[in-house]
Amino acid sequence: MYCRGVVSLALALAVTVAAHAQRTDRLDVWIDGVCPGKEQPVVAIMDGDDRRPIRLDYQEPCHWTGTVREGSFSASRSRFSLRLGKARTECHAGEAKKAGPDAWVANFAFFCCSKEPVKVVRINATPSMNVSYLREVFAIVPGQSRPALRATPCVEEGTLDPYDRTIHHVQFGSEKIYLQIGAREPDADAIGLRVNDLPRASKNGYESLTFDGVVHRLIVQGVEKGSLSPNAMDLDAVKLREVRLEKLEVWVTK
């Protein structure tokens, strides 16, 4: 029993060391299905950071490459998604491929894409304040003709620019969008107001909520989840009072 435990621990450590050693700053991306053209920009989002898109360079039909601007990442453990002109993808784990004696490249094979058109979500808070967001992205995209083999669920996050309060490439059928009102930085443990549940906005429209309206929507979310205590409800209201929210406006457009 003791020997078996030692062997298991040794194998786990070996896997961890190997994954750590397979670091790179290079992506090699292939897109199957509907490939964007040479003139269409393609960017990658690494490990859920919506704030630092990586521009990919066209190599040949259905083939792009890219390099991260700073540092490196695990070729087999980091997660990437793509933003294409009128589409987005789910998140994928890479496959580490040898690129030299001590060099690796992260290889990705995406299948493009859901038939649902992407949308733009625009936010305005009164008074003006910080707004961050989370994107809970599904591994299986509804309506996609073929599932991606290395797709994985993930959470992407960002902070809205005070001069351009928009979230781009949104597909409500394959992700949930949460607004964190008054948050300077996104918090994966805090959730937020789910835009998918705003009936008028989510149908290519406009939704305006007062302070009480936002609190009500948060309470409804908690009741649906079945885990929101009265203390949690009070805490949400306290946070919104602290930032003195008066009104939240949400536009969803194509």
Q: How far apart are CA 192 and CA 135, in angstroms?
A: 11
Q: How many alpha carbons fall within 13 Å on the CB side of residue 76?
A: 12
- Is-contact 156 79, C-beta < 8 A? no
Token digits of residue 41: 């920009």
Amino acid identity, position 23: R
Q: Which domains does the chain have, with CATH numbers?
A: 23-112 (2.60.40), 119-253 (no CATH)
pTM of the predicted model, to two decimals?
A: 0.86
Q: Which of 219, 160, 159 is nearest to 194 (CA)?
A: 219
Would you give per-residue pLDDT tens digits along the chain (254 residues)? Answer: 545 554 444 434 334 444 457 999 999 999 988 888 899 999 999 999 999 999 999 999 999 999 998 899 999 999 999 999 888 999 999 999 998 888 999 999 998 888 888 999 999 999 999 999 999 999 887 766 566 678 899 999 999 987 889 999 999 999 999 999 999 999 988 878 999 999 888 787 999 999 999 999 988 887 776 554 555 555 677 888 999 999 999 999 98
Q: How far apart are CA 24 and CA 77, in angstroms?
A: 11
Q: How many alpha carbons fall within 13 Å on the CB side of residue 6?
A: 3
Residue with tokens 């300077």: 184
Residue 153, CA distances (Å) to 34, 117, 135, 150 in order: 22, 20, 11, 10
- Is-contact 168 85, C-beta < 8 A? no
Other C-beta atoms lying within 10 Å of the C-beta of residue 97: 16
